Each structure stands twice: as structure tokens, then as C-alpha cells.
Amino acid sequence: MDKEEFYRLIESRKSIRKFKTEMPPREVLDRILNAGLQAPSGKNRQNWRFFVVTGKKREEYLKYSQKSWLGIKDVLQKRLKPSLYDFTERFFFTLGDAPVLIFCYSHNSSEERYHTSIGSVYMAVENINLACVVEGLGCCTMGAPLEIKSEVDAFLGVDQLPEYKAGELELLCGLVLGYPDHNPPKAPRQLENRITYL
């Protein structure tokens, strides 16, 4: 890949919220997740943990998605114009028909600073976002599962793991992904006061 291709890849990434129901092949999902595993991490702990939800389990999660909407809808109603607000509400009730959900956790440790640990996971999440672009898939990173974090933990069975019981495993975000069924414009980048050279 040359420099121009690389920067085109970065710029072409955008959040997709409407998907075809077609399931991506397992080997494609494996490549995307492996891209996440290539991210840098604090003290090379590679502390990310990914839980992939498809099929019947994905359908069961919809009621949780709808519940998470209740925690953010008032804030979004103030920020979004009505048509976009309505679209977003529908997304939470269907997850845009995305066939794949990925829940991203950090395995925290007293041996590493907290923000370094969670930052490592978010670097892996961005790798997954970019790998989706390369594979012709759409992806959207969601903070909404954090509105009902303990319920999501129980839904996934994560709350039964020893590291969770030790207070070391933390949900950071969810991802929905699949083949895009729309081509929304990318939100303009806000450049002012974002970079300072000293």
C-alpha cells in the first residue's frame, strides 16, 4: 500500500448504521478481529477482550439495545435535527440489521495505569474499523451499551469470569458491523483548535 492509498483508507472510514442482513464469512471476521489484535498496547499486555455476537444471541440483544436508548435519547434530541433523531432511534431498535455485534472489554491490571489499559483497547477498535473498510464492510462504534453495562455483562456471561469477579474486566464499547446498505456522508472534520504545535 502506498502513502496515498493509506490516507484514502483513513479518510474513507465513516460510521455505518444501516446494513444488509447477509452474514460476512467467518474468515473475513477472523481477519478483522486479527487486525484488532495487531494494535499496540501498554506494556504489551494486549489486554483487549472481544465477545462476538451473531444469530439468535444477536436477536436477543435487541431488547438491551432498546433499553440503552432510554439513557441517551434526551441528550441526542437536543443535538440532532428531527429526521436524524428519528433515524437514530430506529437504529437502536434494530441495530440497523447488522448481523454482527462485537463487545470490547479491557482486562485492567494494577500493573498498568487505567487510562493506558483502556486506550490500548480503543486502538484495537480503530484497527477493526479500518479493517472493515478494507473488507467492504461497514462498522459503527457504540458507547450506548455502557448505559446498561452490568446488564450487558450478564447477557454475555462475562460476569461469571474470574477476572470480572476480581474487578478487572470492563466493557468499553460495542461495535455493529456488516455489509453497508446505505452510503451516508461523512461528518465534516472539525479542525479548528484541534492541533497545537509548540
User: For the chain, which ranges sit under pLDDT 50?
Assistant: none
Strands (E), the chain: 48-53, 100-107, 138-142, 169-178
Angle at 27 between CA 37 and CA 56, to 5 degrees: 95
Contact predicate 49/170, CB 8 Å: no
Scanning the structure block, which residue is given the C-alpha cell 446498561? Answer: 148
Q: What type of residue is 184?
A: P
Q: What is the pLDDT of residue 144?
A: 95
Taking alpha carbons only, the member of 23, 187, 49 closest to residue 118 is: 49
**To the nearest whole number, what is the mean pLDDT of the chain?**
96
Beta bridge partners of 158: none
Scanning the structure block, which residue is given the C-alpha cell 447477557? Answer: 155
Superfamily of domain 15-178: NADH Oxidase (3.40.109.10)
Contact predicate 54/123, CB 8 Å: no
Locate the domains of the chain by residue range.
15-178
Strands (E), 35-126: 48-53, 100-107
What DSSP state is assigned to residue 47?
Answer: -
Q: What is the pLDDT of residue 1?
A: 74
Angle at 114 between CA 41 and CA 120, to 5 degrees: 20
Return d(Cα 125, Cα 109) in angstroms, integer: 20
Show the cell assigned to 198. 509548540
189: helix, strand or coil: coil
Contact predicate 139/96, CB 8 Å: no
Return d(Cα 70, Cα 85) in angstroms, integer: 13
